[in-house]
Chain A
Amino acid sequence: MAKMTLDQLRKLREETKGEMTRRETEGKEIQVIVGMGTCGIAAGAKDAFEAIVKAVDEHKITANVVIRQTGCMGLCHVEPTVEVIVPGMPATIYGKVDAAIAADIVRKHLVDRKLVSGHIYDRPAIDIVNK
């Protein structure tokens, strides 16, 4: 792979941006937040994050989705954790999210608007909710 320059990166970004601008009118309504605390990192949160980025890009829903990182969500026992906020659906925290589950979450929850069973966990622990 040849070393890419910032100018080359800018050109690539402009090419993809033209395609995105047409869809941006609806605004970004969906949020996907990946817990990246020590516990999350140790359990593989970076793999989950990358799988989400890849899947969102592949499903061409980039224009509607905000992907963010945060610290520990208080669910260390089921890391990696991912919170998904989709209008019209309950805000959901998924736990034990590896790369395959992350791709599933994007396909089922973000695209098909269905919850992914078997990986839904409670809201964050009391120490975070009460702060």
Chain B
Amino acid sequence: MHYTVCDFLLDLVQNSIEAAANRIQLSIIEEDGQLRLTIEDNGKGMDETTLQRVQDPFFTDGIKHRRRKVGLGIPFVVQAVEQTGGDFTLSSQTGKGTILSFTFPAGHLDTPPLGDLPGLFLSAFCFDGDYELIIRRRNQERELDYSLSRSELHAVLGDFTDAGALVLARQYLESQEA
């Protein structure tokens, strides 16, 4: 299976949640022939030494899995960006959070497909934890422009572990992309 952009993003959202962020902002913007993606969190951030190593697939902080020796989320993104001539920036401050941005040229043959956005949003909202996730989505060509908030959806639907709520959430998220 080939990765989609949504797969990358789900990995990165999990990174933010695991970094104890209680506010995460994700933006997915398609305009002027570019796909621009940004994820910003107020989690524990990374020091300079860690920052220099995050692109190494054989580096992980070891917090989640003590003996695990790989961390593939960011290296996969960097690899895809390099293959397409896109851009990648990562900045982080210990105790303040992390901002990760990457851009793909939409028309490049190796730019991964966007994938299932409603599925990504649903999964990103469903991890355990008390975090707010704000999603900003824009597609110039399709005149799409909307925002989503995990806490707002939570207030309407209640428990995200409930299949009934998840089915309705999926319908709602699909309708935003229609």
Query: In whole Å, how far is A87's beta carbon from the nearest beta carbon of chain B?
Result: 17
Complex contacts, B167 vs chain A, CB 8 Å: 53-54, 57
B residues 131-178 near A (Cβ < 8 Å) are 152-153, 156-158, 161-168, 170-172, 174-176, 178
Given contact pairs A1-B174, A69-B123, A127-B67, A16 touches B168 in the complex (Cβ within 8 A): yes
Complex contacts, B72 vs chain A, CB 8 Å: 38
Mask: chain A, 1-32; 1 = CB below 8 Å from B; 0 = not: 11110100110110011001000000010000
CB of B168 within 8 A of CB of A12, answer yes
**Which secondary structure dominates where chain A touches chain B?**
helix
Answer yes or no: B53 CB below 8 A from chain A CBs: no
Complex contacts, B51 vs chain A, CB 8 Å: none
Interface size on B, residues (CB 8 A): 42
- Select one of B76, B156, B175 contacting A3, CB under 8 A: B175
Chain B residue with the shortest CB-CB distance to A73: B65
Answer yes or no: A41 CB below 8 A from chain B CBs: yes
Interface size on A, residues (CB 8 A): 43
Spell out B's residues near A (CB within 8 Å): 1, 3, 7, 10-11, 14, 18, 64-68, 72-73, 76, 116, 119-120, 123, 126-128, 152-153, 156-158, 161-168, 170-172, 174-176, 178
